[in-house]
């Protein structure tokens, strides 16, 4: 058991202060995701030609001014967490786009993007071949990314005042750095100093109700508005105590999954555009295998789809292990089930999505949406 002498408290407090203020993910323990694991990877999405690919989005490395992380370290962490793709979103420079890692490295697909500020808020862009404009309106940044075949997301959504920006693909619905800022600093410090360090990671897995309300408003106007998770991994902080800041803990805590026919930059970007995603706080349980779909006489419709209402239409949910399943229509909970499956027969028109919480009430899984339109 590791001891923490009182003389080290100032150092630990300083390290925690960096966690809360620097935008970096800071952790210090190794662990595995609990719960059952898929027998095959990538996991086929039953009844479709798609596969479930696990990714990390919002990652910084040595090309970012605030990180020293190497591609070798990122690849090792990705393989350890069974991550298939990584979106590198360094704070943009000409070099970060020009020299950013692209393609497959030891089985891990890399996409190049950036984290870029605008007057409206921070934009996370992926699929870039050249830098996007600096300090422009967020809509212009999104347009610039799209012109390159890329996508753009609201990043650090807690700081956005107006979400009605044209051209955005979706939103970072959760972010580990935001989770640190959202918690009372004294409570986070107490957790870091006196509790098992795994609890610090769990402490940062935060569902901001205001972000979800704003997301639901956007879904009512422009479904799909694709959800992603922001790992905000930097792995760059040196501390006076122990080892702090590896990518492993961050990658094992939060992931974004895409449903795609194969693993390539083009198919991952297309899945993001189409809303074929879900987000998992894997620290509470392996997310791979979570499934939300519509089924009717025409077949299977995965997340991101729009389907007409009909008596034979069903919405089906499957969860890797037991959880508290909430089916939401237009943001409101209309069905709750404790278990691994849930079904809604002949669902009413509206935008449907799913949230799953653990038995202890921790946020775990978040699906993209399926829109049910009025039948003809």
pLDDT-based confidence at residue 20 (cuts at 50, 70, 90): very low
Domains delineated in the chain: 38-286 (3.20.20.140), 290-376 (2.60.40.10)
pLDDT-based confidence at residue 367 (cuts at 50, 70, 90): very high
Amino acid 242: pLDDT: 32
pLDDT-based confidence at residue 272 (cuts at 50, 70, 90): very high
Amino acid 249: pLDDT: 87
pLDDT-based confidence at residue 41 (cuts at 50, 70, 90): very high
DSSP string over 283-333: GGS--TT-EEEEEETTEEEETT-EEE--TT-EEEEEEEEEEEEEEEETTEE
pLDDT tens digit string along 180-226?
Answer: 777 666 665 555 555 566 677 787 899 999 999 999 999 999 999 99
Residue 245: is its pLDDT beyond 60? no
Residue range 64-80: mean pLDDT, rounded: 94
Amino acid 190: pLDDT: 55
Amino acid 187: pLDDT: 60
Report whether 235 contacts 250 (CB < 8 A).
yes
Alpha carbon of 157 to those of 218, 261, 341: distances in Å?
A: 13, 30, 31
Report whether 177 contacts 183 (CB < 8 A).
no
pLDDT tens digit string along 309-349?
Answer: 999 999 999 999 999 999 999 999 999 999 999 999 999 99
Strands (E), the chain: 43-44, 51-59, 85-88, 103-105, 108-117, 122-126, 151-155, 170-175, 226-230, 255-260, 277-280, 291-296, 299-302, 306-308, 314-329, 332-345, 350-357, 363-367, 370-373
Residue 18: is its pLDDT beyond 50? no
Closest CA to 352 of 334, 323, 328: 328
């Amino acid at each position: 058991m590791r001891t923490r002498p009182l003389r080290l408290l100032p150092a630990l407090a300083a390290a925690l202060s960096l966690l809360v203020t620097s935008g970096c993910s800071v952790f210090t323990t190794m662990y595995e995701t609990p719960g059952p694991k898929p027998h095959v990877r990538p996991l086929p999405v039953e009844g479709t030609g798609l596969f479930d690919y696990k990714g990390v989005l919002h990652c910084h490395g040595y090309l970012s001014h605030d990180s020293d992380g190497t591609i070798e370290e990122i690849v090792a962490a990705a393989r350890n967490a069974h991550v298939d793709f990584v979106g590198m979103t360094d704070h943009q420079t000409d070099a970060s786009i020009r020299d950013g890692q692209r393609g497959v490295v030891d089985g891990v697909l890399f996409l190049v993007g950036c984290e870029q500020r605008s007057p409206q808020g921070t934009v996370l862009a992926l699929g870039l071949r050249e830098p996007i404009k600096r300090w422009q309106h967020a809509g212009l940044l999104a347009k610039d990314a799209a012109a390159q075949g890329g996508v753009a997301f609201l990043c650090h959504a807690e700081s956005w005042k107006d979400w009605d920006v044209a051209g955005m693909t979706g939103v970072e619905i959760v972010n580990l750095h935001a989770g640190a800022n959202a918690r009372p600093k004294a409570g986070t410090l107490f957790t870091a100093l006196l509790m098992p360090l795994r609890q610090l990671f769990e402490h940062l897995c935060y569902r901001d109700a205001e972000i979800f309300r704003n997301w639901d408003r956007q879904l009512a106007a422009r479904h799909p508005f694709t959800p992603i998770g922001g790992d905000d991994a930097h792995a760059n902080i040196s501390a006076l105590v122990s080892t702090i800041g590896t990518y492993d803990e961050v990658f094992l805590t939060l992931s974004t999954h895409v449903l795609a026919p194969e693993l390539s930059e083009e198919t991952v970007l297309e899945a993001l555009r189409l809303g074929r995603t879900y987000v998992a706080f894997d620290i509470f349980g392996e997310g791979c295998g979570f499934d939300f779909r519509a089924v009717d006489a025409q077949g299977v419709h995965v997340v991101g789809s729009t389907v007409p209402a009909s008596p034979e239409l069903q919405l089906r949910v499957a969860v890797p292990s037991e959880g508290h399943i909430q089916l939401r229509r237009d943001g409101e909970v209309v069905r709750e089930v404790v278990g691994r499956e849930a079904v809604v027969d002949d669902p009413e028109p509206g935008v449907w999505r799913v949230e799953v919480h653990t038995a202890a009430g921790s946020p775990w899984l978040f699906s993209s949406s399926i829109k049910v339109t009025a039948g003809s």
